[in-house]
Amino acid sequence: MKEKAVTLLNESKTARWIALILISSTMFFAYFFVDVAAPLKTLLEQAPYFWSNETFGMLGGSEFFLNVFAGFLILSGVILDKMGIRFTMRLSGALMLIGGTLKWYALTPGFIGTGIDNFLSSFIVDIPASAKLAFFGFAIFGVGVEMAGITVSKTIVKWFKGKELALAMGLEMALARLGVFAVFQLSPVFAKSGGVANSLFFGVLFLLIGFITFFIYTFMDKKLDQQAGGGLDVLPEDQFKFSDIGKILSNPGFLAIAGLCVLFYSAIFPFQKFATDMLASKLSVDPEIAARYVSYFPIGAMILTPFIGAFLDFKGKGATMMLYGALLLTISHLIFAFVPDDLFTPVVAIATIVILGVAFSLVPASMWPSVPKIIEERLLGSAYGLIFYIQNIGLLLVPILIGWSVSYANPGVSDQIKAGVEGVKYNYFLPELIFAGFGVLAIIFSVLLKTIDRKKGYGLDIPNKES
């Protein structure tokens, strides 16, 4: 008697797209929280917070502190490869929720005057106590969100390899970018009706919903593994060994992608933190209006990323797309830097923001599906973890650098704003030159990656979908 063949859950289009929606929803809520304070820089400079440019920059960098200095991102990749997707997914969701709650509490009126407030105020007095606790909470959140990112990447490979891999990754990124659009639209509105703490409260509420969607997905993951005899998550013969990290780091294709990644993202995510204030200053408009302009940033990515993913699945050209994205990134920041204020109209601002969004669709949509072509599947968790670790070094240091550069290029402006002087604004020429410099270096690494691809035959310009 013949044994009936089992149709795996990931062979069902409906099932794998439902799985994608669940995990992508969590990333939408996570991306919302990442930038929930970004449109509120002006409010944080005023009472009762009195944060400086450097403090605001350190807030952006604190998200990556534990990932870099405590090596949590590398550990996250190892946990993913050794413990599997379900355990890592639940852990990452819990860490995001815990860290987000701490950051919210730090910015509530009830925090002022507490024992924690008094203790934190007793050292490094130049940094407000609210900022110190917010840094700590955001660092814990950062461990969770980056762990979630590498877990989602490996999960998509698990469900879509040999199928619509790049399209699936593109759609996941598009939904995550929608979180960026939403936060720049909604965070100023929430703050207007309840202050900074109100925006953070809604961010935490969204994280709770994201934790639930992650948790629901794990039941689908368990069923898929049961159908495959437990073989899709961690095969005994493919157990991760710490020596494999050296194998990954000796791969020239991996090093080129990691270099491109850190340079590209260093000109994107830190920019988002300062973009509202930059546009408000350059256009002489209210920060709420500037935040709406910044919200158009992910529009290009949201619209184009799925189409780029589908193109990569059927036509290829992944390495070429990364080069084009790096070029557009550089052009965008050069426009922000060199176009004079009297010629920098809202139309120019929005158009440049959208061009930057197009770059943000080209590079990630091409880069993440390219990693499985360079690294074997059993090491993907650690490979993604290492890439994110290298990326996080830049994302930790660059916001601090930009915060310093704003103050350096604008002596005395911060004190005038704190004193309530009207009509004072920052000049962002120097910070934008720094961002453009990262873009130029990203171009160099993308050309290097194309050269390595030709020599090693990774097939980065070859379609992802198996015929």
Average pLDDT score over residue span 37-46: 87
DSSP states of 107-159 as a string? TSGGGTTSHHHHHHTTSSTTS-HHHHHHHHHHHHHHHHHHHHHHHHHHHHHHH
Average pLDDT score over residue span 400-414: 90
Specify the pLDDT at position 273.
Answer: 85
Alpha helix stretches (DSSP H) within 228-251: 243-249
Is the separation of the CB atoms in 79 and 91 below 8 Å?
A: yes
Is the separation of the CB atoms in 361 and 248 below 8 Å?
A: no
Would you list the domain boundaries of the chain? Answer: 12-456
Q: Domain 12-456 classified CATH 1.20.1250.20?
A: yes
Q: What is the pLDDT of residues 223-265, one digit of tens each?
A: 998 887 754 444 444 555 667 778 888 899 999 999 999 999 9
Cα(15)–Cα(177) distance, integer angstroms: 23
Cα(204)–Cα(391) distance, integer angstroms: 25
Is the separation of the CB atoms in 24 and 176 below 8 Å?
A: yes
Note the pTM of the prediction, 2 decimals: 0.76
Structure tokens at 18: 């439902």
- Over 60: is that where the pLDDT of 395 sits? yes
Mean pLDDT (the chain) is 87
Cα(36)–Cα(396) distance, integer angstroms: 17
